[in-house]
Amino acid sequence: MMDSELPRTLNVENFEMRIADVANVEISQLQALSISVGWPHRAADWQHLLDIGKGYVALDEIGRVGASAMWFPHGEDFATFGMLVTSPRLQANGAAKWLMTRIMADCGHDRTRLNSTREARRLYMSLGFIPKGTVYQCQGTALAPAPLAPIEAGLALRRLDRADLDAVIDLDAPAFGSARRQHLLRLFDSSIGYGLYEGQRLRAYSMRRRFGRGHVVGPVVATCDADAVRVAHPHVVAHAGGFLRIDTHFDTGAFARFVQQCGLTVHNTVKTMVTQEAASYGTGQNGAAVVYALASHSLG
């Protein structure tokens, strides 16, 4: 669809909403919007999203933000969508569909993915997204996990720094579905990371950063459950007693059990949806890594 064919204003009941760049509104307004639907984003969490994403807001006649939608480029030909919110008092007037149509046109990629709440699923289906699996949002006050067996000979777990970026991108790309260099770079700035190395080869990595009510552990990327637990473990140890969140597609197996044993229970589920099969997460074929925990719903 051509940009120029999309309407620039929308009549909502008796007033008109106009579209504006999400980068041009006060973060406090964005935060007020996400709080209005019960989302925990702090100003710093919105800043993180604005640093790597683009999008729009719908403003009412006195400049209040009534809805938002963003997209996040990950490499040349792949994007995720997120932060689709309509203020409760304005819902069911077409605002979300209006903004989604707009960002999909801007993004222009065929390969896109998002994580949908129950409320948004019908809207995304109508825009051509197909469901691809469930994300379990696990959270709670973290319990100190049981110590792990000593690490196998030949493996080393260590803190990641910028020098590990290329190794992280290489491991991550087939799991995530695209080389998300910009985002991983941004995550390095605000996260503590661990990598499991076998000689020079990175086998698994994990990150933890402040988010919402506490901290989030993600991404976690590994080729097997045991490695995923190995890299996630130190984050839970460091954060025992604090509020911790892990978003994972796994509800069985050793990683899912580890998450439960750490006191993180399923608070909510969302559905991963894609515009085409090729936008799915990697399935771990041929020994490739898979995503055990997401950076966030919006960022995948």
In the complex, what is the shortest distance from the CB of residue 68 to ligand COA, in angstroms, rounded to a whole number?
9
- Do strands 78-86 and 111-116 pair parallel, antiparallel, or not at all (unpaired)? parallel
Q: Which residues have a Cβ under 8 Å from the Cβ of 296 and sit 6 or more positions away?
A: 82, 211, 216, 218, 247
Question: Scanning residues 139 to 198, which ones bind ligand COA (CB under 6 A)?
Answer: none
CA 248/CA 147 separation, integer angstroms: 22
- What pairs with residue 204 in β-bridges? 196, 222
Question: Scanning residues 245 to 274, which ones bind ligand COA (CB under 6 A)?
Answer: none
Which letter does DSSP use for residue 22 in this model? G
Of 26 and 119, which CB lies nearer to ligand COA in the complex structure? 119
In the complex, what is the shortest distance from the CB of residue 35 to ligand COA, in angstroms, rounded to a whole number?
11
In the complex, what is the shortest distance from the CB of residue 13 to ligand COA, in angstroms, rounded to a whole number?
12
Token pair 């720094």 is found at: 161
Cβ neighbours of 127 (radius 10 Å) = 16
CA 291/CA 300 separation, integer angstroms: 9
* Sign (positive or negative) of CA dihedral 117, 118, 121, 122: negative
Choosing from 29, 101, 117, 269, the residue that interacts with ligand COA (CB under 6 A) is 117
Choosing from 85, 138, 244, 291, the residue that interacts with ligand COA (CB under 6 A) is 85
Choosing from 20, 27, 37, 288, the residue that interacts with ligand COA (CB under 6 A) is 37
Stated length of the chain: 300
Of 85 and 236, which CB lies nearer to ligand COA in the complex structure? 85
Q: Does 135 bind ligand COA (CB under 6 A)?
A: no
Choosing from 96, 157, 160, 246, the residue that interacts with ligand COA (CB under 6 A) is 96
Token pair 């799915």 is found at: 280
Piece in contact with ligand COA (CB under 6 A), picked from 92-100, 164-172, 180-188, 214-222: 92-100
Cβ neighbours of 232 (radius 10 Å) = 28
Choosing from 10, 46, 49, 93, the residue that interacts with ligand COA (CB under 6 A) is 93
Q: Does 120 bind ligand COA (CB under 6 A)?
A: yes
In the complex, what is the shortest distance from the CB of residue 73 to ligand COA, in angstroms, rounded to a whole number?
18
Of 86 and 178, which CB lies nearer to ligand COA in the complex structure? 86
In the complex, what is the shortest distance from the CB of residue 179 to ligand COA, in angstroms, rounded to a whole number?
25
Choosing from 22, 25, 79, 86, the residue that interacts with ligand COA (CB under 6 A) is 86
Choosing from 6, 47, 108, 122, the residue that interacts with ligand COA (CB under 6 A) is 122
- Say how many CA atoms lie within 13 Å of 77 toward its Cβ: 6
Q: Does 94 bind ligand COA (CB under 6 A)?
A: yes
CA 45/CA 195 separation, integer angstroms: 24
Q: Does 126 bind ligand COA (CB under 6 A)?
A: yes
What values do phi and psi take at 246, rounded to 5?
A: -135, 125
Q: Does 116 bind ligand COA (CB under 6 A)?
A: yes
In terms of Cα–Cα distance, which of 55, 96, 88, 97 is closest to 72?
55
In the complex, what is the shortest distance from the CB of residue 199 to ligand COA, in angstroms, rounded to a whole number?
41
* Sign (positive or negative) of CA dihedral 77, 79, 52, 179: negative
